[in-house]
Amino acid sequence: MKLVNVVLLGIMGALGIYIVMIYNSLVRLKHNVKKAWANIDVLLKQRHDELPKLVETCKQYMKFEQDTLEKVIKARSRVAVAQESQDMKALGLAETDLRRSLGQIFALAESYPDLKTNETFQHLQARITSLEDTIADRREFYNESVNVNNVRVEQFPDSLVAGVFGFQQQQLLEFSSEEKRDVDVKALFGAPA
């Protein structure tokens, strides 16, 4: 065999190994995004299961606050639909509404001393608050996984391998501008601004 053929075979072999390494790396990133979403999905389902219990507990005390309870129920439904379809934009908007509605319930609970001292309400409030914190942490991890994936899918030469094998960018889980604004505490407690 001529030296030129050996060198060409060596270059082609190295190039093949490099392409395989890029492909495997992109597969790992794709599965990291799926795993990050699965973690959020589990937490959203847990919170979805806890919310009816919270609403039922509140209904016993908050007879005149049906509007607030209905907002939670509607927001919960929109989150479930967006979660099922994995529509990150709709999920971000629905999450904003749900978090706002939960904040209103917890703020209104201050006006109901019997509800505030109810052991079931306290347990559910602590559980949902804990789930909210964990969901926020997982959203950050999800968005980081998506960002790493998206950068790699766009970078050269990874973009060539991604294009050939159908790797695509993923959608970030973003929130409405309302959720990013400072909270108006006076409005939550019904005090004049």
Residue pair 127/50 in contact by the 8 Å Cβ criterion: yes
Q: Where are the domains of the chain?
A: 3-188
CA distance 142 to 135: 10
| Domain 3-188, CATH class in plain words | mainly alpha
**Per-residue pLDDT tens listing for the chain (193 residues):** 688 899 999 999 999 999 999 999 999 999 999 999 999 989 988 988 888 888 888 877 776 577 788 888 888 899 889 888 888 888 888 888 888 888 888 888 877 777 777 888 888 888 888 898 898 899 999 999 999 999 999 999 999 999 999 999 998 887 765 544 444 544 544 444 4
Residue pair 92/173 in contact by the 8 Å Cβ criterion: yes
